[in-house]
Homo-oligomer: A and B are copies of this chain.
Amino acid sequence: MHLAGGRLRDFARGCDVLGGGGGGQARYALPLAVHAVELNGPVQVVPATELPANGLVMPCTFLGAPAIGAERIGTCREAATIRGHVERHFGQPVVAMLCNEIGGFHGAASVALAAHAGLPMLDADGMGRAFPGMSRVAMHLAGVTPDPVVLADEHDRVVAVHAGDGWAERMARSVVVGFGDRGVSSEYVMTVDQVADAVITGSVSKALRIGELIGAAASVPDAARAIVAEFDGVLIAEGRVTAALPEPGRHTPATIEGTGADEGRTLRLEVGHEYLAVIEDGQVLATVPDIITVFDTYTGEALGAEELRYGQRVVAFALPCPDVWRTPAGLDLVGPAAFGLDLPYRPVVAS
């Protein structure tokens, strides 16, 4: 399988769905991916079984303030610079890139980073969705060390951080501030034989498939129905946003009032960096780490948490998160309490 042409758009749409409102918008990374593929050719997507067991898999992602990144988009050649440093450090070739965060911006951007680094993408990612925080990845739960965190800017400046789990992100963010609040980062480098238990397998093909379902659907509600049917999710409601005060990073509840068949229902959406929970009449319908997605009924775009506005017509649905997040250790890291919610975790179960 490879990513190029129209598949890039499908893939980006799927990334936005898997973002669960978080991770920024894949549609803004799409031009980077299209341009990178034009320059470097299609990006192959491969399963771990097709790679040499002792080759290195290199996660890679943009880091920095989103507002800076919107203007200072980088060249994505940072990934090639990082690849060189990683190979020198480990004395082994990198054989594939791993998308850290399939959800939202970083999912689509990873195609651009892989293309410029001259690497295939592993059909996997670190989260199966989007989360804030460097350590909210399957690699961390599997005990992989983030060291060295290798960071680069678009002028080939490279910084390598050896700080251990607790300080890796703190130090990486300090470094990126020095870069001018935008850089590319790689951490949790593994060998291929480590990835089986340390990544979310199949994320890239899943995002692509979701994008294809959206493209094939006759309407936005139909697209939502097709996605939940194929990926064991649940449709929550169609409705209209009647209250929303999005402030990125703060809990700012929004209200969705049902329309059509859902007339009379009132849903409360807890919103942080992503959609954290949906509550109706005191009942939890879905919470993190499951993936809550809100489609704009008119545009078909999966709305980012900071994009919710009064009056939007929407379709809300939820998809189950990867199994690793439903373990006790997973819920400690990314369950409702990890995001400040005093709510129980009620796994999304397809009806």
Contacts and interface: CB of A to CB of B under 8 A. Distances in A.
A273 interface: no
Nearest to A152: B162
Contact of A174 (B85, B163, B175): B175
Contacts of A178: 167, 170-171, 173-175
13 contacts: A155-B167, A157-B163, A157-B164, A157-B167, A159-B159, A159-B160, A159-B171, A160-B162, A170-B178, A173-B178, A174-B177, A174-B178, A175-B178
Contacts of A167: 155, 157, 178
A159 B158 contact: no
Interface string A154-187: 0101111111100100110111011100000000
Nearest to A157: B163
Nearest to A163: B157
A156 to B, nearest CB: 8
Q: Which of A161, A170, A173, A178 has the most CB of B within 10 A?
A: A178
Interface string A137-161: 0000000000000000001011111
A171 B155 CA distance: 13
Interface residues of A, number: 19
A178 B171 CA distance: 5
Interface in A78-126: 85
Contacts of A177: 174, 177
Contact of A171 (B157, B162, B163): B157
A132 to B, nearest CB: 18
B159 A162 contact: yes
A164 B157 CA distance: 7
A162 B175 CA distance: 12
A53 to B, nearest CB: 26
A161 B159 CA distance: 4
Contacts of A164: 157
A281 B162 CA distance: 56
B175 A171 contact: yes
Nearest to A168: B157
A161 B174 CA distance: 12
A173 to B, nearest CB: 7
A176 to B, nearest CB: 8
Nearest to A159: B161
A161 B155 CA distance: 13
Contacts of A163: 157-159
A167 B177 CA distance: 13
A308 to B, nearest CB: 34
Interface string A36-50: 000000000000000
Contacts of A157: 161-164, 167, 171
Nearest to A160: B160
Given A158-B163, A173-B178, 14 more contacts: A157-B162, A157-B171, A159-B160, A159-B161, A159-B162, A159-B171, A160-B160, A160-B162, A170-B178, A171-B175, A174-B174, A174-B178, A175-B175, A175-B178
